[in-house]
Copies of this chain bind each other. A is one copy, B any other.
Amino acid sequence: MTASETSHPKLQHAGGLDFAIADITEAEYGRKDIRLAENEMPGLVDLRREYAEAKPLHGARIAGSLHMTTQTAVLIETLVALGADVRWVSCNIFSTQDYAAAAAVVGPHGTPENPQGVPVFAWKGESLEDYWWCTEQLFKFRDENGNVVGPNMILDDGGDATLLVHKGVEFEKTGVVPTVADDDLTVADEERVVLATLRRSLAEDPQRWTTINSDIRGVTEETTTGVNRLYQLAERGELLFPAINVNDSVTKSKFDNKYGIRHSLIDGLNRATDVLLGGKVAVVAAYGDTGKGSVEALAGQGARVIVAEVDPICALQALLEGHEVNTLENVIDKADILVTATGNKDIVTVELMKRMKHQAIVANVGHFDNEIDMAGLGRVEGIQRITIKPQVDEWIFPDGHSIIVLSEGRLMNLGNATGHPSFVMSNSFSNQVIAQIELFTKHEEYNKDVYRLPKHLDEKVARIHVTALGGELTTLSKDQAEYIGVDVEGPYKPEHYRY
């Protein structure tokens, strides 16, 4: 480990752990919050119970890049309970809950003075440089002899950890990291930082990522965006290890994306602005799972919702649920709230923002901040930015009217709220744990491709959570099961079933 890598001011060592977080004394509250969250995460608690003895993740070194929240702490401690060695970063510069990071470092049996948890590198409000420095730390496990070794598993959200390995390997092959001109506007700030990180890495160790990659058994990916990247890599034959697409487990995509955002969109709007949602015009860009959850939440509060969609099938769904479908261009003038949930880029342009009503609110629940042209907004001649409170900025145009942008255009459900609630994450994270076990223990059965979890595991996750909510399931008779051509125990639906 070279000086350059360890020189970050946040880096600390205690209790035999290295970590970089905001404030370890916040662990007290974090531990309380974890205790409450465990009651809402029956899936993870059940998996701990089921695998208490077997410890199927013994030997796993899991590099986790996923919003460092209380729920994630419960996930981390489940992975540890199943035998894994774990390091963690947040996959978003604003999404860390500092108390959760502290609690994860302290662990269930440690204290702030003598932390016994896992190494976490994450705090709320990282710079881009911080962010990629943290991501780099993910890859520095220690073996029993204290030597730095890489992970053998990745647990990813959005694909940044996976990206770093892939780009690292790519550049190590060519032996050079491309340079970009400072004034080249086609290159995003973030890309520059990634390149700088890898340029430094290449200089330090020209085989680091190649070595790391050789150990990796696979990645389990959490989100639509990360999964899209994986499918693109696989299509081009460039995927370096097997991947399990956790996002497309039904109990993930149709629950986390939809019901999580149904909860946390309005939570974030309320905490950020306290504006009455009832009676307002809310425009939601995209009616995918996240968009559907957004619309349900806003309508449930009495807002009038207009949906913008590219996909005619989703648009037709929106219409048949009673919502106007129109383009942002056509309706932006009457929007009180604009929510972008596309997972695509360049959705909310400066031209659109200029046309919005005074103090209209702009919120991103898609994935990356490039859904909103924040850079362009900052370049508007004469624009003024007033920070009302952290993650709530009023941008005042020269004509005096303003808009409110949440979380600097990044995911507001994480930046302005506390992310998805525990119960929803219990579904997603149960799939994550199951996928980690699957890939870690059976990696030889998988090719360098993207897989989904088999449906019976999806149903297993659902079953635990139905029971936790007091639901009572009906049992098929053998005769009935045969009649519809399924097993009594399931799975109950064909692969293509849409729920």
Q: Interface residues, chain A, CB within 8 Å of chain B?
A: 29, 32-33, 36, 39-40, 70, 228, 231-232, 248, 250-251, 253-255, 259, 262-263, 266-267, 270-271, 273-281, 285, 289, 296-297, 299-305, 308-328, 330, 334, 343-346, 358-359, 386, 388-389, 394, 404, 417-418, 421-424, 427, 452, 458-460, 462-463, 465-466, 469-477, 479-480, 483-485, 490, 492-496, 498-499
Whole-angstrom distance between the Cβ of A275 and the nearest chain B Cβ:
6
Give A484 to B311 CA distance when docked, in angstroms.
13
Contact in complex: A275, B422 (CB < 8 Å): yes
Which one of A274, A324, A424 has the greatest number of beta carbons of chain B within 10 Å? A274
Question: Which chain B positions have C-beta within 8 A of A471?
Answer: 315-316, 318-319, 324-326
> Per a CB cutoff under 8 Å, which of B276, B308, B494 touches A423?
B276
Whole-angstrom distance between the Cβ of A120 and the nearest chain B Cβ:
20
In the complex, what residue of chain B is closest to A37 when comparing beta carbons?
B274
Copies in the complex: 4
Whole-angstrom distance between the Cβ of A371 and the nearest chain B Cβ:
10
Give A210 to B200 CA distance when docked, in angstroms.
74
Given contacts A389-B29, A474-B328, A484-B228, contact A259 B319 (CB under 8 A): no
Give A268 to B262 CA distance when docked, in angstroms.
16
In the complex, what residue of chain B is closest to A496 when comparing beta carbons?
B248
Question: Which chain B positions have C-beta within 8 A of A253?
Answer: 498
Contact in complex: B310, A323 (CB < 8 Å): no
Contact in complex: A472, B325 (CB < 8 Å): yes
Give A324 to B323 CA distance when docked, in angstroms.
11
Whole-angstrom distance between the Cβ of A82 and the nearest chain B Cβ:
23
Q: List 28 A-B contacts (CB under 8 A).
A: A29-B389, A36-B359, A36-B388, A40-B275, A228-B485, A250-B498, A251-B313, A262-B301, A262-B302, A267-B270, A278-B320, A278-B322, A279-B316, A279-B469, A289-B498, A296-B300, A300-B300, A303-B322, A304-B322, A310-B473, A311-B459, A311-B493, A312-B465, A313-B459, A314-B499, A316-B466, A326-B471, A345-B479
Give A182 to B316 CA distance when docked, in angstroms.
51
Question: Which chain B positions have C-beta within 8 A of A477?
Answer: 346
Whole-angstrom distance between the Cβ of A334 and the nearest chain B Cβ:
6
Contact in complex: A311, B490 (CB < 8 Å): yes
Given contacts A267-B270, A346-B480, contact A327 B474 (CB under 8 A): yes
Known: A304-B323, A325-B471. 10 other contacts (CB 8 A): A29-B388, A36-B273, A36-B394, A263-B278, A271-B271, A279-B423, A312-B473, A313-B458, A315-B471, A345-B479
Give A40 to B404 CA distance when docked, in angstroms.
13
Contact in complex: B474, A308 (CB < 8 Å): yes
Which one of A29, A278, A459, A490 has the greatest number of beta carbons of chain B within 10 Å? A278
Contact in complex: A330, B472 (CB < 8 Å): yes
Contact in complex: A321, B302 (CB < 8 Å): yes
Give A418 to B33 CA distance when docked, in angstroms.
22
In the complex, what residue of chain B is closest to A245 when comparing beta carbons?
B496
Contact in complex: A297, B304 (CB < 8 Å): no
Contact in complex: A302, B320 (CB < 8 Å): yes
Contact in complex: A300, B303 (CB < 8 Å): no
